[in-house]
């Protein structure tokens, strides 16, 4: 059975709003230009000065533009193609669709929390609302079907499960390395906090998104139904997320900005995530349906 028409409509609306949200910062680039701002902590911050991201720190705005480009050119076509294939009964497409929705959900949760208030705020609000509903409904559909799915091999479980555990651990340690030293030294505020109120990406990652990687990997290794849904979905999500992060550091490097250890870590994690997604999806390439 295909996903209900209501879910299809929600995903089509999500696609349209995502195109608007990602294209607007790339098209509408008017503004006063770069300027310097002094944060409440006395840190000098260079503001981007153009388009909806004009009041963001320059290097953060550039990262947002890079992610918007990947979302527009890769994630949205993937979302629509996988929706079409899901309607034809493909389990692979269902897992790709769910992972793509998860990627967009994470992106716009972070935008709502991190980006300076701008013209796109209500668009992001509606996107997070719809994406949360779509993600929950898609995951619940899989719960009723997973028992009849083709099971992956032991080698596939080992690679995918271990990779997701390693991913969660590496990124978690990277973020702790940013947060803990200032705490231990008594300076409190990490370098690069700029004029943000808190470490937003690090906070959400450590509290929500990285534990999901650890849980997905653990339960996939344990051969549980939850792992058989979460691991391929997370691998698809992570492939898109790492592609966006690679675009960010590439754009930064092109402008002469330092990307730090991410310049080495992200390409390796991207390659690992793509392999994990391929291996996790491969058992479902045989004719099977999502059964929802």
Say yes or no to pLDDT of 213 above 50. yes
What average pLDDT score do residues 14-29 get?
97
- d(C-alpha 209, C-alpha 213), whole Å: 7
| 291 in any annotated domain | no
Residue 130 pLDDT level (bands cut at 50, 70, 90) = very high
Tokens standing for 146? 């997973």
Residues 6+ apart with CB under 8 A from 16: none
The total domain count for the chain is 1
| 269 in any annotated domain | yes
Domain that holds residue 198: 5-285
What average pLDDT score do residues 22-34 get?
94
Tokens standing for 263? 């310049």
Closest of 226, 230, 228, 222 to residue 102, by C-alpha: 230
How does the average pLDDT of the chain come out, rounded? 92
Beta bridge partners of 35: 47
- d(C-alpha 193, C-alpha 42), whole Å: 11
Say yes or no to pLDDT of 121 above 90. yes
Residue 286 pLDDT level (bands cut at 50, 70, 90) = low
Closest of 218, 277, 261, 248 to residue 78, by C-alpha: 277
Say yes or no to pLDDT of 292 above 50. no
Contact 79, 69 (CB under 8 A): no
Say yes or no to pLDDT of 146 above 90. no
Which DSSP letter does residue 282 get? G
Say yes or no to pLDDT of 120 above 90. yes
What average pLDDT score do residues 73-91 get?
95
- Check residue 291 and give its pLDDT: 46
| 22 in any annotated domain | yes
What average pLDDT score do residues 136-145 get?
90
Tokens standing for 225? 């139904």
| 117 in any annotated domain | yes
| 73 in any annotated domain | yes
| 107 in any annotated domain | yes
Cβ burial 53-77 (10 Å sphere, 16+ → b, else e): bbbbbbbbbbbbbbbbbbbbebbbe
Say yes or no to pLDDT of 191 above 50. yes
| 222 in any annotated domain | yes
| 116 in any annotated domain | yes
Say yes or no to pLDDT of 1 above 80. no
């Amino acid at each position: 059975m295909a996903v209900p028409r209501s879910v299809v409509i929600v995903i089509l609306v999500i696609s349209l709003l995502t195109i608007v949200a990602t294209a607007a910062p790339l098209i509408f680039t008017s503004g006063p230009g770069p300027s310097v701002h002094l944060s409440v902590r006395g840190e000098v911050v260079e503001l981007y000065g153009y388009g909806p991201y004009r009041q963001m720190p320059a290097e953060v705005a550039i990262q947002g533009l890079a992610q918007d480009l990947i979302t527009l050119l890769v994630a949205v076509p993937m979302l629509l193609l996988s929706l079409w294939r899901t309607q034809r009964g493909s389990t692979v497409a269902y897992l790709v669709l769910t992972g793509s929705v998860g990627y967009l959900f994470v992106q716009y949760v972070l935008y709502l929390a991190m980006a300076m208030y701008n013209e796109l705020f209500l668009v992001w609000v509606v996107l997070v609302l719809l994406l949360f509903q779509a993600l929950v409904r898609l995951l619940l559909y899989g719960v009723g079907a997973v028992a009849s799915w083709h099971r992956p091999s032991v080698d596939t479980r080992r690679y995918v499960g271990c990779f997701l555990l390693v991913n969660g651990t590496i990124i978690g340690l990277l973020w702790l390395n940013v947060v803990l030293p200032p705490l231990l030294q008594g300076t409190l505020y990490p370098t690069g906090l700029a004029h943000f109120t808190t470490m937003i990406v690090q906070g959400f990652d450590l509290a929500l998104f990285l534990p999901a990687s650890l849980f997905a990997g653990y339960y996939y290794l344990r051969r549980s139904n939850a792992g058989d849904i979460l691991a391929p979905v997370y691998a698809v999500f992570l492939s898109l997320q790492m592609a966006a992060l690679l675009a960010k550091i590439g754009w930064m490097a092109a402008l002469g900005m330092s990307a730090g250890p991410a310049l080495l870590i992200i390409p390796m994690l991207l390659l690992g995530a793509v392999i994990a997604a391929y291996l996790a999806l491969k058992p479902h390439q045989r004719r099977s349906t999502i059964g929802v």
